[in-house]
Structure 1
Amino acid sequence: MHHTLATMLMLALGGAGLIPGPAYAACEGVPPEQRLQNTAPQDIGRSLDRIQEDGWIEFALYEDFRPWSWEEAGKARGIDVEIARLIAESLGVEPRFRLVQSGETLDADLLNYVYKGATVGGHVSNVMMHVPYDVDYACRFDQVVFTGQYATERLAIAYDLATYPEKGPTAPVFRYDPVGVENDSISDFFLTSVAHGATADKVHRYKTTLAAMEALSGGEINAVMGPRAELDAGLAEGKAVHEPAFLGLARSKWTLGVGISFQHRPLAYAVDDAIAAGLEDGRIAAIFAEYGVTFQPPVR
């Protein structure tokens, strides 16, 4: 089963998506001794100076994750891949791409790919793409710099225009109409909780949101709920996407950024500067357009 990043973040914060917004005072009420601490003092990864000296930088990206990152004909493709190229170009080095599997939790992914490395044969990458940002979650991690916010992802509904010709469906409709979701995603949790499970028999679960979109194209279901970018990537003729209010869901959007080891703050600043420049001059928006995905700027 594919990872569900936003779900991982929200479960880490203590709820299946039904959680309050971020605190206004960063790290308020989180004493330093209660935060997760780095377990080893040794230097991990590579500094900005070393990266520029070596002439290359390695990015960790999730595998099989259209439209964000995947492999095609032996080459990495996707929105996150192109943003990584933009970062490498800004640093004057060659990008290298490491497509990785997601773990059970976001904590595990950060440990394996950002600040420690997997126990057996693991190494950290210089930058991990597609890390959801939340100030409360970031406070638990002294080992990771959460920076480089480059987009806002949000939940939406893709639907069949012939079935809903006048306006797009909202969640209560799926008490009666078949809808697809990625298994164990926020959308899955949310729709099965609507009307205390009255929708449960109408919710069809798929391995990925893209697989659910294929089922929508094939007429198996009337709609799909999931992250907007993944819906856009799988949109076929005669289908549309809208972003209704999801009543009862405290958070239907989240910020995407990068994760970098806290030991390499100069690198983190340089990466953030590269992304800020790409947002300002429209290069990042153009990458989304190239993949047919609706872009929403991040809150920075």
Structure 2
Amino acid sequence: MVLRVVLLICSLLAAPTFARSYEDILEQGQITIAVYNNFPPYSYLRDGEPAGVDIEVGKKIAAGLGVDLEWMWINADENLEDDLRNAIWKGHIITRKKADLMLRVPYDRKFAYAIDGYGLPKNELVVMFGPYQQESWALLRDHEKTNDIRTLAIFQYEPVAVELDSLPSFFLGATIGGRLRDKLVHVDSVFDGITRLRNGEVAAVAGTRGQLQWGMSTGGDVNVTEYNPLPDQYDISADGLAAMSIKSWDIGMAVKQDYRELVYEIQAIVEPMIKNGEMEALFLQYGLSYEIPDYHRTE
């Protein structure tokens, strides 16, 4: 008897939960949306409740479809392909659960249509669509330490915090003939770097503009609901980063390849939000500036 129960539990855990078509979502009255776990200011828990810009976007999508909302929290894997596999087309390695929609997917046509070594599409099982924000790399500077020097040369003499294995880390370590390398302070997260900046240990922090803005306005406290303006002592800009291979990129969404109708319905909800200012208002709720995606600038 015990053996039967164990086998039943194992079979239930092993049974995949399929991503669903638009008709299935309407019939069942619920959509499952994948967001990154512990990733402020976009998706995190505040006083035990989901919060962040992507959480607000997901709520708008569910409301527009007229269905209830379930979150699927995912941890970032080694690369985007792994994240898409775990969230959208294959499912969680243990529960096999899948989401109907994934948010905060870098929108890159070259990636979406990439070909493998056999001449076959690498990412044919997912559809990447619906850019709703442009993200970019930036530097948060302390003017008292940099004397308002806008070039990277100042960081030959003043330390700058960079997230380990990030693009800014590689770029700053190689630029100006590698002369900044000894002044790089590697940290586990942008927010660790901001703490060091506030403590006077570094002169600047490199990271994504959104995380730099949110980290400075909240002190990295996920339970904060009021966002303070940036003190005059600091500023955030891309000065000195023009030579980076990737300076900015669009952020969009992804669904399983089979469900194109769901794509069209979600686009019909999100695109008007970008054009009428509603998307920008969601970012302002979290103390963030908003950059419209290149995709919508060039349409």
TM class by shorter-chain length?
A: 0.7 to 0.9
Question: How many angstroms apart in 1 are the aligned matches of 2:101 and 2:288?
Answer: 23
**What is the match of residue 203 of structure 1?**
184
- Tell me if structure 2 keeps the 8 A contact 1:180–1:225: yes
Question: How many angstroms apart in 1 are the aligned matches of 2:51 and 2:59?
Answer: 11
Q: Is 1:163 the equivalent of 2:124?
A: no
TM-score normalised by structure 1 residue count? 0.82
Return the index of the structure with the highest Cα Rg: 2
RMSD: 1.7
Question: How many angstroms apart in 1 are the aligned matches of 2:151 and 2:50?
Answer: 36
Give the C-alpha shift of residue 165 in structure 1.
4.9
Structure 2: state its 5+ residue gaps.
1-15, 115-122, 218-230
Question: How many angstroms apart in 1 are the aligned matches of 2:257 and 2:17?
Answer: 10
Give deviations 1:182-208, integer Å, cap 9, x for gaps.
111111111111133321121111111
Question: How many angstroms apart in 2 are the aligned matches of 1:279 and 1:227?
Answer: 21
Q: Which amino acid aligns with 2:78?
A: E
- Tell me if structure 1 keeps the 8 A contact 2:17–2:98: no
Question: How many angstroms apart in 2 are the aligned matches of 1:204 and 1:78?
Answer: 28
Match 2:104 to one of 107, 130, 155: 130
Structure 1: state its 5+ residue gaps.
1-41
Question: How many angstroms apart in 2 are the aligned matches of 1:226 and 1:119?
Answer: 30
Percent identity, aligned pairs only?
Answer: 29
Question: How many angstroms apart in 2 are the aligned matches of 1:201 and 1:245?
Answer: 18
**What is the match of residue 21 of structure 1?**
none
- After superposing on structure 2, the runs of 4+ consecutive aligned residues of structure 1 that deviate more than 3 Å are 164-167
Match 1:72 to one of 29, 46, 60: 46
- Tell me if structure 2 keeps the 8 A contact 1:191–1:199: yes
**What is the match of residue 225 of structure 1?**
206
Give the C-alpha shift of residue 153 in structure 1.
0.4
Match 1:139 to one of 103, 113, 132: 113
Question: How many angstroms apart in 2 are the aligned matches of 1:275 and 1:285?
Answer: 12
Question: How many angstroms apart in 1 are the aligned matches of 2:160 and 2:64?
Answer: 43
**What is the match of residue 249 of structure 2?**
254
Q: Is 1:57 the equivalent of 2:52?
A: no
**What is the match of residue 275 of structure 1?**
270
TM-score normalised by structure 2 residue count? 0.82
Q: Is 1:90 the equivalent of 2:75?
A: no
Give the C-alpha shift of residue 120 in structure 1.
2.6
- Tell me if structure 1 keeps the 8 A contact 2:146–2:154: no
Give the C-alpha shift of residue 275 in structure 1.
1.1
